[in-house]
Amino acid sequence: MSLNISLYTISAVLILDNEGERLYANYYNHSGSQENGGESHFQTLAQQTKFESSIFSKINKAHQDIILYDNHLITYKQTNDIILVIVAKINENESLIYSTVATLFESLNILLDNTIDKSTIISKYDLVSLAIDETIDDGIIIEIEPAIIVSRVTNAPKFDTNVHVDLDKGIFDALSFASKKIGERLQQGF
Amino acid sequence: MSTSSYKKQEYAGTGSSNALPDKMAVFQDCIQQFNATPVKTKRCRQLLARLLRLIYTGETFPAQESTTLFFSISKLFQHKDSSLRQLVYLTIKELSSLSDDILMVTSSIMKDIQGGDVIYKPNAIRTLSKVLDPTTVFAAERLFKNAIVDKNPIISSAALISSYNLLPNAKDVVKRFTNETLETIQSYKQFPPTQFQLHEYYGSSTSNLPPTSYMYQYHALGLLYHLRNHDKMALMKLITTLSEGSALKNSLSIIQLIRYINKILNDDESLVVHLYPILAGFLKHRSDMVELEACKTLINLQHLIKDDQFMAIITTLQKLLGVPRTATRFAAIRLINKVSIKHPEKIMVVNIELEGLINDSNRSISTLAITTLLKTMGAGTVDSGAGGENVDRLITRMTSLMDEITEDFKIVIIEAIENLALKFPSKHKKLVAFLTDLLRDDGSLQLKSSIVDALFDLIKFLPDASAKQLILMNLCEFIEDCEFTELSVRILHLLGDEGPNTTNPSYYIRHIYNRLVLENSIVRSSAVISLAKFAAVCGGDVAKNIKILLSRCLNDVDDEVRDRTALSLKFINNNQKKLIVSSSKYDLAALESKLTHYLNDQANFSTKFDINEIPLLSSEELKSLEYNRKINKLDSSTTDVTENAESVAGTPAAEDKSGADDTANELLKQQEYAQELSLIPEFAEYGKLSKSTITPFYLTEKENEFVVTVVKHFFIEAQKLVLQYNITNTLPRSVLQDISVIAQPDNELYEEDFIIPLAELKPDSTGTVYVSFSTPSIEDEELLAAFGNTVAYTNKDIIDDEGNVDERDDGWSDEYQIDDLEVSAGDFINPLYNSNFSAAYDQLPNPETSVVTVGKADSLEVAISKLRASLNLMPLDGSDYVPSDSNSHVLKLFGKDVWGGKVGVLVRLALTGGKIVAKIEARAETEGFSSIVANGAY
């Protein structure tokens, strides 16, 4: 077993729905790191979806938390109609990877007000993708403390900040301002 | 109603349905909204989220469009809203791989890093590494340094990660951050408490929240290693400083530290004295992931540590087996399983925990628990024989479990059981019964095939004749109602091979005949052949009855069945036993290579292909090949047994094949040597090559100026020994000329005939020197010898870049002494498999006994592998396995010498006072050889 001494730990983060369709899929290709030998069989979309459907058939409704599949370590959390999956290399520290998936799950749970399901994820996709980005960047684990991850994710603005510069009014203002100035100059100058 | 409010409704509509938004619609909206003034933050964030969703589900935009997108997104930089800006950065990061125009946002990002809001500053820093290239990275140097030492842990982490990502492109720039990185590891950074209030979930009660998770230590350590890894001393210093006290507070960083220790130890094992205490310290840690990592590392290094130190690992693992978290239990049992492959006796202490895990809710865990238990049971009972109840109990539990688990796991368990039965034949009865019970249950073809495979192997390799009979009878019953034609055919074939040699062939004939009546034509035709084998082997009444049975098949509706029947009857009537039952087979690997060779050259077609060139293997030799292959495969496959079980695609690991083909390759190699030697005219008259040592033996260090390996070729009929010295010149600036090897035997009966020297050896090339000797024959008293070897050569320096040497330079002659070479007893032996060692051994004549001390061996395991290597015999009855806690062992070895006689060796080993004493009893068919074996072992 070759040792992973790089920080690149996670191979992919996936959120699949109850039919195995992807809601979120991010594969981290570490072509830059030598430890990986550049081997990645997730290059094409077809390979990725094939992988997803085969792990889905393995993990759906089987609450195992962790399995080994096709030389990958797969940890996951299933709830309602979605599965949150993290894929890592086969020789990774199982507990570490599971902690990451658990952390991410808890963060999402807080951010989505205890309703992690397909429609919530889609309607609050900004929060979901930010939370994942604050947990894992390019396969590097950034944070394992849910409270910090949650705090890092900004809420969507409640309303459109209406710094409404009313165009029409602006022009009239400008015109009247200009006419006033011109009037003044005319009086002064001539 | 205005158009804008109309559109709003439309978005609400698509938002609520879960369908993926249309790509072009999102694209158009993005362009429109991002360029609008004023920017509507909420709308834009929604749009960005929609865009991200497209990206994360695998949609891509063509280059032209992603550039346009990019430009419009960059417009959003004018807006100050941090929640929008954070998502903008994420989008830019994800789009960066798609567009070539990312450079244009560099200055905007840098501006944000310098003065931007603390919320999106880390996002900006992480995005920066995506947009920088080696030419622009210098501009960001100052920014990075400041960010790394920032008081905010998130900003610091972001800068470290960003630098880490830049390593492949700009290592020299990142190197300048070394001091800042070091400072960061040992500093204390606190997460700004105000930021917790960002989310109402935490409200104002932020005091319970952790002020920091120390993740920056992990990132800093990861970066630092890559800046320092060329410098072992610096790395050692780093490790010792950081392992003291609680310098590292973050579990991930400790894991990283443990991995660096492992890496260093892999390179330099002598450091284990300093580093073991550090690792052992981590065996007790509040975080289970650290404990796991420490166990993992120590198990990898188990050859370096003592037994009592090893127990500390097991104790930690034992504790981890009981934790509620599935992932941790899984990891712990995975490690225990790994240990059990080599040292099942070391983990017998956790048997109780393992039994508890058989019914674990995670199927991987329960399967691993079972396979591990199967191994430890075997280890515990191999000598005592008292552990029978344990196996009983385990099998009962497994039987109840079998109904609940999936077929993949069943197959894993079947393999484990077969493995156990092969290694410990005394346990076969229970295990065979288990397998045959399983065979009767419902199952797919794949499952049944794996059971049948296992039973086939057991028939071949179990020494006990009654076991064989038991399995055969069970198989007979199975084909009575077997729905898989494929399996029926295989079983019928096996019955034909094995049945005639049993005590009650008529039993099998009855079952086979039933097939003739009831089955489809494919099964019928193989039943015909099977019956013919019984007739040929048993003869007498049996043959007569079979002839009657077969004659009925002459009227079969299927032509294949009729053909086969007619042919078989003809052979039986003419007593052509050989045509029905073959006692030997061609070596298929050799046949294949010869045939390819033959077909590749048109010129060969003038002469007929000579099948006699292919070595014929007797069924015994074939069995030893298969046995080896099997054992190798089992050993290598147990390592990743669970991995394979999980994979539906079933990508059988490539290394399995390489291990299994080793033995076949040996035969091929032998062929190659024979071919090479026959091309040299001097050796033409030596006749048939009897045996060559397969692995070249190194006579020098592998990193010497020249590396010499030797292969011994024996021509027994001609009484010749040819030593093939392969010499590699590793000197870059020298050419060696007139190379010869002076081999000085210490046995006068060896006479040197001639040397075939090597004219010239260029740098980095390999050449061969042959030395031929006349050897004494087996009747002579002294067969073994040692050769002192000296390489003699003329050295010339290379004077130009083309590798030429100065013509006028005479060079200088030199001699170089290399290691001695021994001709040992093992050189005259080939390993051979025999399923019943005791019977075969008792029949052998010429017993000879000697007592030796096995040198340089401190454990029985090492001694056994040494004896095996020096005698080149096959260990039988699983006797090459030693439980590490025992002080004595009996090793059973079997083989065939080059004169064609069988050799059996019984070695009694005892460990006394740190020395290993072996009493060797050798028996050999060839007269005089047993004493050579007995005295030649060391």
Higher pLDDT, B3 or B793: B793
Are residues B838 and B813 both part of a single domain? no
Query: What number of CA atoms fall less than 13 Å from residue B153's CA on the CB side?
Result: 27
pLDDT recorded at residue B673: 78
**Taking a C-beta distance cutoff of 8 angstroms, is the pair B772, B754 a contact?**
yes
Cα-Cα end-to-end distance for chain A: 93
**Taking a C-beta distance cutoff of 8 angstroms, is the pair B890, B906 a contact?**
yes
pLDDT at residue B659 tops 60: no
Residue range A8-37: mean pLDDT, rounded: 77
Residue range B505-515: mean pLDDT, rounded: 86
- Determine the distance in angstroms separating the CA of B327 from the nearest CA of chain A, rounded to an integer: 6
H helical segments located in B519-605:
521-538, 540-553, 559-573, 577-580, 588-600
The reply to whether B833 falls in a domain is: yes
* Of A106, A125, A143, A128, nearest in space to A9 by CA: A143
Residue range B95-112: mean pLDDT, rounded: 77
pLDDT at residue B619 tops 70: no
Gap between the Cα atoms of B874 and B876, Å rounded: 6
Q: Determine the residue type at B573.
A: N
- DSSP secondary structure, B443-512, as one string: --HHHHHHHHHHHHHHHHH-S-HHHHHHHHHHHHHHHHT---HHHHHHHHHHHHHHGGGSS-HHHHHHHH
Take residue B632 and report the two structure tokens written for it: 């190798």
Rounded to 5 degrees, φ, ψ at B617 are -105, 130
The reply to whether B548 falls in a domain is: no
The reply to whether B630 falls in a domain is: yes
| 3 state DSSP class of B430 | helix
**Number of folded domains that form chain A:** 1
Question: Assign residue B86 a region: left if phi > 0, alpha if psi is -120 to 50, beta otherwise?
Answer: alpha
Say how far residue B841 (Cα) sits from the centre of its chain: 35
**Taking a C-beta distance cutoff of 8 angstroms, is the pair B388, A92 a contact?**
no
Domain hosting residue A95, numbered range: 10-152
Cα-Cα end-to-end distance for chain B: 101
Are residues B778 and B859 both part of a single domain? no
The reply to whether A63 falls in a domain is: yes
Residue range A16-41: mean pLDDT, rounded: 69
Gap between the Cα atoms of B301 and B338, Å rounded: 13
pTM for the model: 0.67
- Determine the distance in angstroms separating the CA of A9 from the nearest CA of chain B, rounded to an integer: 11
From the list B87, B164, B364, the residue facing A126 with the nearest CB is: B87
Contact B58 A25 (CB under 8 A): yes
Per-residue confidence band for B199, with pLDDT thresholds at 50, 70 and 90 = low
Q: Determine the residue type at B476.
A: C
Whether A167 and chain B come into contact, CB under 8 Å, resolves to no
Dump pLDDT digits (tens) for B124-146.
Answer: 888 888 888 777 788 888 888 88
- Determine the distance in angstroms separating the CA of B260 from the nearest CA of chain A, rounded to an integer: 7
CATH of the domain at A138: 3.30.450.60
**Taking a C-beta distance cutoff of 8 angstroms, is the pair B800, B809 a contact?**
no
Gap between the Cα atoms of A178 and B89, Å rounded: 41
Domain hosting residue B777, numbered range: 681-823
Boundary residue ending a domain (B678, B707, B726)? B678
**Taking a C-beta distance cutoff of 8 angstroms, is the pair B436, B474 a contact?**
yes
Gap between the Cα atoms of B151 and B190, Å rounded: 7
Would you tell me which residues 633-672 of chain B have a C-beta closer than 8 angstroms to some C-beta of chain A?
Answer: 642-643, 646-649, 651
Gap between the Cα atoms of B892 and B938, Å rounded: 16
pLDDT recorded at residue A84: 92
pLDDT at residue B881 tops 80: no
pLDDT recorded at residue B539: 76
The reply to whether B576 falls in a domain is: no
Dump pLDDT digits (tens) for B207-223.
Answer: 666 777 888 889 988 88
Q: Which residues contact A173 (CB under 8 A, 6 or more apart)?
A: none
Question: Assign residue B900 a region: left if phi > 0, alpha if psi is -120 to 50, beta otherwise?
Answer: left
Are residues B719 and B817 both part of a single domain? yes
Rounded to 5 degrees, φ, ψ at B922 are -110, 140
Take residue B506 and report the two structure tokens written for it: 């008529």
pLDDT at residue B847 tops 50: yes
In whole numbers, what is the pLDDT of chain A averaged over residues?
Answer: 80
Gap between the Cα atoms of B14 and B347, Å rounded: 59
**Taking a C-beta distance cutoff of 8 angstroms, is the pair A23, A15 a contact?**
yes
Gap between the Cα atoms of B214 and B216, Å rounded: 5
Dump pLDDT digits (tens) for B373-421.
Answer: 877 776 554 444 444 566 677 777 777 777 767 777 778 778 777 777 7
Would you tell me which residues 187-206 of chain B have a C-beta closer than 8 angstroms to some C-beta of chain A?
Answer: 191, 195-196, 198-199, 201-202
Residues of chain A in contact with residue B328, where contact means CB-CB under 8 angstroms, are 94-95, 98
**Taking a C-beta distance cutoff of 8 angstroms, is the pair A135, A104 a contact?**
yes
Take residue B553 and report the two structure tokens written for it: 């098949």
Residue range B264-293: mean pLDDT, rounded: 85
Dump pLDDT digits (tens) for A36-78.
Answer: 434 456 778 888 888 888 888 888 877 788 888 878 889 999 8
Cis ω on the peptide bond leading into residue B38 (within 30° of 0)?
yes
Residue range B50-58: mean pLDDT, rounded: 87
Element (H, E) at B817: strand B812-823
pLDDT recorded at residue B835: 67
Are residues B697 and B776 both part of a single domain? yes
Token pair 């009729």 is found at: B562
Are residues B663 and B781 both part of a single domain? no
The reply to whether A57 falls in a domain is: yes
The reply to whether B115 falls in a domain is: yes
Gap between the Cα atoms of B254 and B271, Å rounded: 19
pLDDT at residue B7 tops 60: no
| 3 state DSSP class of A6 | coil
- Asked which of B9-18, B496-505, B527-536 is least confident by mean pLDDT, the reply is B9-18
From the list B154, B169, B251, the residue facing A152 with the nearest CB is: B154
pLDDT recorded at residue B896: 80
Contact A160 B43 (CB under 8 A): yes
pLDDT at residue B643 tops 50: no
The reply to whether A182 falls in a domain is: no
Take residue B247 and report the two structure tokens written for it: 């310098």
The reply to whether B762 falls in a domain is: yes
pLDDT at residue B8 tops 50: no
The reply to whether B85 falls in a domain is: yes
Please return the burial class of B110, using the count of CB atoms within 10 Å of its CB with bins 0-12, 13-18 and 19+. Answer: buried
pLDDT recorded at residue B639: 43
Strand-strand pairing, B706-715 and B697-698: antiparallel
CATH of the domain at B803: 2.60.40.1480
Q: CA angle, corner B674, sides to B668 and B676, nearest 5? A: 105
pLDDT recorded at residue B198: 58
In whole numbers, what is the pLDDT of chain B averaged over residues?
Answer: 77
- Asked which of A58-67, A68-77, A169-178, B67-76 is least confident by mean pLDDT, the reply is A169-178
Chosen for mutation from A4, A93, A127 (greatest number of chain B CBs closer than 10 Å) is: A93
* Of B483, B391, B403, nearest in space to B445 by CA: B483
Token pair 């979930």 is found at: B201
The reply to whether B551 falls in a domain is: no
From the list B18, B42, B82, the residue facing A118 with the nearest CB is: B18
Per-residue confidence band for B350, with pLDDT thresholds at 50, 70 and 90 = confident
Dump pLDDT digits (tens) for A148-167.
Answer: 888 888 877 766 554 444 45
Measure Cα distances from B903 to B424, B577, B582 in Å.
23, 30, 25
Measure Cα distances from B681 to B677, B694, B761 in Å.
8, 23, 22
Are residues B708 and B721 both part of a single domain? yes
Are residues B107 and B173 both part of a single domain? yes
**Taking a C-beta distance cutoff of 8 angstroms, is the pair B409, B646 a contact?**
no
Give percent above pLDDT 90 in chain B. 0
Dump pLDDT digits (tens) for B804-816.
Answer: 666 666 677 788 7
Higher pLDDT, B16 or B92: B92
* Of B712, B655, B329, B649, nearest in space to A51 by CA: B649
pLDDT recorded at residue B653: 33
Q: Give the A:B interface size as CB pairs under 8 Å.
A: 223
Are residues B854 and B778 both part of a single domain? no
pLDDT recorded at residue B384: 42
Dump pLDDT digits (tens) for A71-121.
Answer: 888 999 988 889 999 999 888 888 999 999 999 999 999 888 888 888 888
The reply to whether A1 falls in a domain is: no
Are residues B807 and B709 both part of a single domain? yes
Gap between the Cα atoms of B847 and B921, Å rounded: 7
Boundary residue ending a domain (B768, B795, B823)? B823
* Of B743, B825, B848, nearest in space to B778 by CA: B825
pLDDT at residue B480 tops 70: yes
Gap between the Cα atoms of B495 and B492, Å rounded: 5
pLDDT recorded at residue B509: 87
Are residues B600 and B713 both part of a single domain? no
Dump pLDDT digits (tens) for B697-712.
Answer: 777 777 677 788 888 8
H helical segments located in B149-269:
153-166, 171-175, 178-185, 193-196, 215-228, 232-243, 251-267
Strand-strand pairing, B734-745 and B706-715: unpaired
Per-residue confidence band for B167, with pLDDT thresholds at 50, 70 and 90 = confident
Contact B161 A3 (CB under 8 A): no
Would you tell me which residues 750-789 of chain B have a C-beta closer than 8 angstroms to some C-beta of chain A?
Answer: none
Contact A126 B48 (CB under 8 A): yes
Contact B327 A95 (CB under 8 A): yes
* Of B278, B290, B144, nearest in space to B223 by CA: B144
* Of B368, B388, B369, B371, nearest in space to B380 by CA: B388
The reply to whether A59 falls in a domain is: yes
Rounded to 5 degrees, φ, ψ at B803 are 80, 20
Gap between the Cα atoms of B636 and B904, Å rounded: 28
Per-residue confidence band for B938, with pLDDT thresholds at 50, 70 and 90 = low
Whether A48 and chain B come into contact, CB under 8 Å, resolves to yes
Residue range B349-360: mean pLDDT, rounded: 81
Helices B82-95 & B63-75 angle (0-180, nearest 10): 160
**Number of folded domains that form chain B:** 6
Measure Cα distances from B7 to B54, B69, B515, B595, B635 in Å.
20, 21, 76, 75, 66
Searching chain B, which residue's CA lies closest to the CA of residue A74? B327
Are residues B758 and B876 both part of a single domain? no
Rounded to 5 degrees, φ, ψ at A93 are -70, 115
Are residues B710 and B817 both part of a single domain? yes
pLDDT at residue B884 tops 70: no
pLDDT recorded at residue B203: 58
Higher pLDDT, B622 or B83: B83
Contact A154 B648 (CB under 8 A): no
- Asked which of B42-56, B492-506, B598-612, B657-671 is least confident by mean pLDDT, the reply is B657-671
Would you tell me which residues 811-850 of chain B have a C-beta closer than 8 angstroms to some C-beta of chain A?
Answer: none
Searching chain B, which residue's CA lies closest to the CA of residue A156? B83
pLDDT at residue B80 tops 60: yes
